[in-house]
Structure 1
Amino acid sequence: MTVNRNVDVDVEVLVAGAGPTGLALGIDLARRGVRALVVERQDRLSPGARGTGLQPRTQEVYDDLGVLPAVRAAGGPYPPMATWQDGRKTDVFEMVERVAPTPHTPYADTLMIPQWRHLELLHGRLAELGGAVAFGTELTAIGQDAAGVTAELNSAADGTTRTVRAAYLVGADGGRSVVRRHLGVPMSGPDLPPGAALLADLRIDGLDRDHWHRFPQPHGGFVMLLPLAGTDHFQCMAAVSADTPDTSPEAVRATVAAHTHLTAGQIREVLWTSVFRPRAGMAERFRDGRIFLAGDAAHIHSPAGGQGLNTSVQDAYNLGWKLGQVLRHGAPDALLDTYGTERLPVAAGILETSTRLHRSGSWRRGRELHQLTLHYRESPLTAEHRDGLAPDALRAGDRAPDAPCATPSGAPFRLFDAFRGPHFTLLAIGDTELPRPADEWPAHVHTYRIGGHTPDLTDPESHAQQAYGPGLFLIRPDGYVTVAATEPGPVAAELGRHFPSVTAGGRPARMPRAEVR
């Protein structure tokens, strides 16, 4: 990488924005040994509950990134929705459908966690891995050439400017993205009904924490008060008639008192306030040379259905492993083109869903929002080499499901335990011949034979067999099946594409099996 003489900092990936997208990407890059710098214009993590829902697929991502236990400990389920009229509850229903876990889907329900706490946990995990965020640091200028990106960063603390040289830049800097504006990438999307909503985090007396409280208004609009898991706070969303809601503590108390049975005095503390105006749109492209757009910088969603934050985290998860392959394992830069190829259709579909929910006025949220059925079947990275599959069979490009297995000694071992980490995973189910790669591949590919004569894992209740069927299944680092085959050749070819720096020199050997502890 060419470095200018006046460069103060030299990194491999510069990430603009320390929201969920930027922090998740920072975590993924850190565990791959990629030198990344995350910069954030604000002097701290964003306050406020904001987006509170983590869908099951995002929980699977966090299982892999090592943050899920802390997130689940800090969060909880959404309570039933209670509708109020004239100071009494008139209806109670489950707004968020409750779904029982299965052997293939261990995280089945949407998890509620305030976004400020969510960010703290992501930031803590990044620090554990040796990463850091430069707070109070604004991206003021960007230039790119064939060898990399040069960016100017201004420090709010002392007003100094420094220059950073990076191989790649990722704009994860929100809906008003400086990076996107610099690139001149257009964003377009559907029109949502105009309006504004008051958001606030409150401490309230005299309101139970067993329900999500909704107060419809006679002439339209509503006030909703959600008890936030793991805190003594309520999140308030007030969609009332004011075009520009007053966010002062006194005005917030008055608004809640005017539209509910609560008094202003029962609003014990106003912790944070903001004004929300619904927007929807998607960038025309997610890559421009060595610069990428991710999260809200790439697509903005209505909050209906809790899709925006989750889609953003999965942008990071898709891009992180590909940057790692290019920067650490010699994969061609063209691999990074598949970020947009794969994520643009996903973002477009989710944008359509969230917009439809926003316009419908429906309050019920079901499992179709869990993002577990999103797939990359049409991706250039996907290869299905099996014939005669049933219509509902797992295919290359699908999410790789979990399954409870066991070690030969009988100890429980889930497939998610096998997938966890920055590596590829090869599942050989049944007596299937394994590929014969270069000796160095096993460091980056963990192989498990399930069943057969000499298994690494047993399948006592046939859950793995039911989920996958017999054959070879190469699982990408982001948990999707990239190759499904009955012969080893396609798997070896795909590994060669992702690890071109590993040659086949020396004697070929069977791929050693992963050690199962």
Structure 2
Amino acid sequence: MTENNDKPVRAILRMRVREGCEAQFESAWREAAAEISRVPGNLRQELSRDTDQTRDFIITSEWTDQGALDLFGRSAARDRLTSALRDLRESADRSTLEVLHVVDAQAPRIRVVVKVVVPDGKEESYERAYRKVAERMRGTPGHTREELLREVGTKNYHLFAEWESEAAFNAWADDPAHMEQTAPLLPYLLESFERTTFEIVARPEDMLPEVEAAAAKPVAAAKPAPAANPKPSAIAMPEPRATLEVKVPDLPPLTSIAGSSDASAAEFDTDVLVVGAGPAGLTLAIELARRGVRCRLVEKRAEPSSQADKAIGIQCRTMEIWENIGVVGEAMDAGSWLHGQTVFVNGRQTHQVDWDLPEVPYAHLGLPQYDTERILTGCFERHGGRVERGVELLGFTQDSSGVTARLSGGGQTSQLRARYLVGCDGAHSTVRQAIGATFEGGMGMFPQLFMLGDVDLDWTMPEGHLLRFIHVEDEEMKGMLVCVPLRGPGRFRVATLAPPRLMAEIGTGPIPPGFSQEYTPPTLADIQTVLDELAPAGTTASNLRWSSIFRIKHGIVDRYRDGRVFLAGDAAHLHPPAGGQGMNTGIQDSWNLGWKLASAVKGTAAANLLDSYQAERRPAGKSIVDRAVRVAFTDEMDMEDEKLQFLTDMQMTLTYAGSPLVGEVVEDSAGFDGGPAPGDRAPDAEHLRRFGVSHPVRLFELTRGTAHTLLAYVDTSTKEHEVIGFEKLAAKVRSQGAGLVNVFVIAHPDAAVPPQLDLPVLRDTADAFRAAYGIRGGSAYLVRPDGHVGFRCAPVSAAAIDEHLFKLFTI
């Protein structure tokens, strides 16, 4: 063969694996392939198996040229990366092939339609931004035609982008340079857009001639009265411009993901198998253990994290969850408080928000993820659990009664039978791949190269504040830097988009959606380069303790559940690090799922209870992903009410409104003056008084634990016989709720409450409960174990409460 360094080459290695070592071989290949994928010149790798000779595996790797393959073959890394495979094989045969010609399959053209709702008064700036992007898209390979239209009499714009093929669009989308091209439109696209992809199957040329882009001129938008069915009117058909999303291939399926299953098995090794011992997996395991549910928690990492990690911010809502499970004190002792946020745009301070809000029980805490995992691991162990480290999920099957999983650990494979399986196994989730869940499109789908580092900063900035530095040119964000204070004087975590040098070196090539890829850590000089561009003049970084650089493709899976298998945490959604949402959202996934799964295992769950996990968490997750992307890639605070923005960012305003699991019954003459609606977070209330207790009681002390909490409020208008009737109501509720509903009476200071009432009574001495819950008169709230309002009624209605409990429990 004549060497030709300009042509790609493929190396093909056929191996016969030792009998019984097939699963170990697949696992070892995945680890080796992950490292080889970072080697310069490597294009792709593939593992396949002979369907007739099931011990015969074929490894295919493609390289940019022979030189790249030779360089890798001579490196010390080659032996290190392939030694694990060598020990598991009986024989091997290798070939290297030069790719002479490639004929791509004839693919149809596609048209991507994106609908954008532009805010009032922003129409002209939006159209101007569109034309700027269209000019930049001129000459983009594969991009053939484009139009911008607006629905007559509305603010709804439609972008029609045509591409030669889906592959051409994907190649453009995977190139980070596209963000520079589309930057002027980013603020509008992050705010609101919908997309649809069409395959062009026919085009009668005599009826629809091609439009010459160069000849098109902008025309003013007509503004007649809105029509009943408005039709798009042309704004411009300029030089090419691309839209933002199209179907992107999912991660390739594992070569062998199926295990053996015995649908008739009557015994289970455990009730729930949780895969992944990060914050989401640990939280779920704790919730199951608190309720006496058998749980196996496996983690393929042999050792727990012992150094810095990406996640560092603990949101106010997470702190409330940690109070409930009993670890908030440990977290406060190990972390440092974040007092507020200061934003600078082009060197000028535009916002400064202090986060000292008395109505929020806990502030925003800075805590490295390794400390989070350490604290949660200790909690799980106190409940009798144990993290099984060095154990990897190889595959599983499920049937109507349970899941059969294959595990690898300690050089051996084993089989485990569980009622349910939950994948908390991160961005590269084996569980997600196995059930075929895919990431949906969106602006956040595009890969970005992020750089993180823990450094000392020599500057004069507000202490204890999270700092954002934005650089804007010609209405476009050109740079972003976030600095989060850590424990220790002058210590900060910096997060930013990678500088151009690193972007050019490693920020190219396709990556699948919902994927993150680590690279060689950046240096102190790389971090200083960004500080020189964005931080105040004279800022100097020193003492680099940890750094990371990675590409990520944000997104959310199309479903959170498949039969008896669930996804939570990064396995279900990925976020940009600057938004500070990913880990906290994963914890809330598990907080929502834990009590429902425990009820199902114990046989007390209503038929559709588990369906509510996806119904509640996926819309919440999508909203959080979208917002995290907006926060990370826009140059301004996106809410006029800065207090509301903080509460939203802290997930304190998260609601499950519209869930089939929440509801209310309110008579016209009663009702509520605001207060938390069904699905909203149930707020705390202080200064409650209980007879025999000398100190005030918080509402969170009543709702803490693993049960639902029914709060019946009585005021001076409530008759004594009605209060006595609560005893009968409480008895029925406890019975119907399988002993998982606690009942309390919250009384106005002057309400008549019989002293012999066989229910716990707390006086609302400071009117805090009535005010926080918007109560007018006699009423009831049912607070779920996850701290959200499940139901409310006014006045108290035993029949309405009884009907709602049918949604929760099997009667």
* TM-score of the pair, normalised by structure 2: 0.55
Higher relative contact order structure (alpha carbons within 8 Å, sequence separation ≥ 6): 1
CA contact 1:379–1:397 (8 Å) conserved in 2: yes
- Give the drift of 1:321: 0.5
Of residues 138, 146, 153, the one that matches 2:407 is 153
Of residues 104, 113, 117, the one that matches 2:367 is 113
Q: What letter is aligned with 1:252?
A: T
Instruction: Please give the alpha-carbon distance, in whole angstroms, between the structure 2 residues aligned to 1:297 and 1:35.
Output: 23
Instruction: Please give the alpha-carbon distance, in whole angstroms, between the structure 2 residues aligned to 1:480 and 1:265.
Output: 46
2:266 is aligned with 1:14: no
CA contact 2:661–2:807 (8 Å) conserved in 1: no
CA distance 1:181–1:70, shift in 2 (3 Å): same
Instruction: Please give the alpha-carbon distance, in whole angstroms, between the structure 1 residues aligned to 2:733 and 2:483.
Output: 58
CA distance 1:260–1:370, shift in 2 (3 Å): closer
| Residue of structure 2 in register with 1:267 after alignment | 542
CA distance 1:142–1:68, shift in 2 (3 Å): same
Q: Secondary structure at the match of 2:332?
A: helix
2:770 is aligned with 1:465: yes
Of residues 318, 321, 325, the one that matches 1:65 is 325
Q: What letter is aligned with 1:50?
A: K
Which of the two has higher C-alpha Rg? 2
Cα shift readout 1:420-467 (whole Å, capped 9, x = no counterpart): 100111111104542141775584221111114146111101111122
CA contact 1:257–1:263 (8 Å) conserved in 2: no
CA distance 1:330–1:347, shift in 2 (3 Å): same
Cα shift readout 1:333-359 (whole Å, capped 9, x = no counterpart): 531011111112111222222222233
| Residue of structure 1 in register with 2:622 after alignment | 348
Instruction: Please give the alpha-carbon distance, in whole angstroms, between the structure 1 residues aligned to 2:531 and 2:318.
Output: 34
Cα shift readout 1:451-505 (whole Å, capped 9, x = no counterpart): 141461111011111223231212111112212122112223434554436xxxx
Cα shift readout 1:200-257 (whole Å, capped 9, x = no counterpart): 334x3756793656677899435554331379853232421112389667x5122234
CA contact 1:427–1:447 (8 Å) conserved in 2: yes
2:725 is aligned with 1:450: no
Of residues 66, 72, 77, the one that matches 2:337 is 77
CA contact 2:447–2:554 (8 Å) conserved in 1: no
Q: Secondary structure at the match of 1:15?
A: strand
CA distance 1:230–1:180, shift in 2 (3 Å): farther
| Residue of structure 1 in register with 2:448 after alignment | 195
Instruction: Please give the alpha-carbon distance, in whole angstroms, between the structure 2 residues aligned to 1:361 and 1:265.
Output: 24
- Give the drift of 1:260: 4.1
2:688 is aligned with 1:408: no
CA distance 1:127–1:147, shift in 2 (3 Å): same
Instruction: Please give the alpha-carbon distance, in whole angstroms, between the structure 1 residues aligned to 2:799 and 2:631.
Output: 45
CA contact 1:57–1:371 (8 Å) conserved in 2: yes
Instruction: Please give the alpha-carbon distance, in whole angstroms, between the structure 1 residues aligned to 2:336 and 2:540.
Output: 28
Instruction: Please give the alpha-carbon distance, in whole angstroms, between the structure 2 residues aligned to 1:13 and 1:72.
Output: 31
Instruction: Please give the alpha-carbon distance, in whole angstroms, between the structure 2 residues aligned to 1:29 and 1:353.
Output: 30
| Residue of structure 1 in register with 2:655 after alignment | 375
CA contact 1:7–1:163 (8 Å) conserved in 2: no
Instruction: Please give the alpha-carbon distance, in whole angstroms, between the structure 2 residues aligned to 1:146 and 1:346.
Output: 29
Of residues 325, 338, 345, the one that matches 2:612 is 338
| Residue of structure 2 in register with 1:169 after alignment | 421
CA contact 2:684–2:698 (8 Å) conserved in 1: yes
| Residue of structure 2 in register with 1:311 after alignment | 585
- Give the drift of 1:138: 1.1
Cα shift readout 1:83-133 (whole Å, capped 9, x = no counterpart): 899xxx96667666414122xx323x3222112211211111111111121
Deviates more, 1:478-487 or 1:429-438: 429-438
Instruction: Please give the alpha-carbon distance, in whole angstroms, between the structure 2 residues aligned to 1:132 and 1:351.
Output: 32
Q: Secondary structure at the match of 2:761?
A: coil
Output the aligned Cα RMSD.
3.4
- Give the drift of 1:393: 3.7
Instruction: Please give the alpha-carbon distance, in whole angstroms, between the structure 2 residues aligned to 1:397 and 1:178.
Output: 32
Instruction: Please give the alpha-carbon distance, in whole angstroms, between the structure 2 residues aligned to 1:169 and 1:484.
Output: 33
- Give the drift of 1:150: 0.8
Instruction: Please give the alpha-carbon distance, in whole angstroms, between the structure 2 residues aligned to 1:402 and 1:214.
Output: 31
- Give the drift of 1:276: 2.8
Q: Secondary structure at the match of 2:627?
A: helix
Identity across the alignment (%): 34
Q: What letter is aligned with 2:282?
A: L
Of residues 499, 504, 526, the one that matches 1:255 is 526
2:362 is aligned with 1:123: no
Q: What letter is aligned with 2:783?
A: I
Instruction: Please give the alpha-carbon distance, in whole angstroms, between the structure 1 residues aligned to 2:441 and 2:713.
Output: 44
CA contact 1:215–1:259 (8 Å) conserved in 2: no
Deviates more, 1:28-37 or 1:297-306: 297-306
| Residue of structure 2 in register with 1:514 after alignment | none
CA contact 2:683–2:772 (8 Å) conserved in 1: yes
2:392 is aligned with 1:138: yes
CA distance 1:175–1:205, shift in 2 (3 Å): closer
CA contact 2:268–2:419 (8 Å) conserved in 1: no
Instruction: Please give the alpha-carbon distance, in whole angstroms, between the structure 1 residues aligned to 2:700 and 2:734.
Output: 25
2:426 is aligned with 1:181: no
Instruction: Please give the alpha-carbon distance, in whole angstroms, between the structure 2 residues aligned to 1:137 and 1:231.
Output: 40
CA distance 1:415–1:334, shift in 2 (3 Å): same
Instruction: Please give the alpha-carbon distance, in whole angstroms, between the structure 1 residues aligned to 2:614 and 2:520.
Output: 42
Instruction: Please give the alpha-carbon distance, in whole angstroms, between the structure 2 residues aligned to 1:216 and 1:361.
Output: 6
Instruction: Please give the alpha-carbon distance, in whole angstroms, between the structure 1 residues aligned to 2:351 and 2:619.
Output: 31
- Give the drift of 1:328: 2.0
Instruction: Please give the alpha-carbon distance, in whole angstroms, between the structure 1 residues aligned to 2:542 and 2:679.
Output: 50
Deviates more, 1:276-285 or 1:455-464: 276-285
| Residue of structure 2 in register with 1:98 after alignment | 355
Instruction: Please give the alpha-carbon distance, in whole angstroms, between the structure 2 residues aligned to 1:99 and 1:48.
Output: 27
Equivalences, count: 489
Within 5 Å, give how 1:201-350 maps onto structure 2.
Answer: 201-202=454-455, 204=456, 206=458, 210=463, 220-221=478-479, 224-229=482-487, 234-239=492-497, 240-241=499-500, 242-243=502-503, 244=506, 252-260=523-531, 267-270=542-545, 272-350=546-624
Instruction: Please give the alpha-carbon distance, in whole angstroms, between the structure 1 residues aligned to 2:807 and 2:681.
Output: 21
Cα shift readout 1:382-421 (whole Å, capped 9, x = no counterpart): 1201134357343222221211111123421111000110
| Residue of structure 2 in register with 1:506 after alignment | none
CA contact 1:450–1:458 (8 Å) conserved in 2: yes
Deviates more, 1:318-327 or 1:490-499: 490-499
Q: What letter is aligned with 1:234?
A: F
Instruction: Please give the alpha-carbon distance, in whole angstroms, between the structure 1 residues aligned to 2:577 and 2:547.
Output: 17
CA contact 1:187–1:283 (8 Å) conserved in 2: yes
Q: Secondary structure at the match of 2:443?
A: coil
Query: Any stretches of 5+ residues in structure 2 without a counterpart?
Result: 1-260, 508-517, 639-644, 755-759
Instruction: Please give the alpha-carbon distance, in whole angstroms, between the structure 2 residues aligned to 1:213 and 1:375.
Output: 28
CA contact 1:97–1:366 (8 Å) conserved in 2: no
| Residue of structure 2 in register with 1:508 after alignment | none
Q: Secondary structure at the match of 2:525?
A: helix
Instruction: Please give the alpha-carbon distance, in whole angstroms, between the structure 2 residues aligned to 1:297 and 1:373.
Output: 24
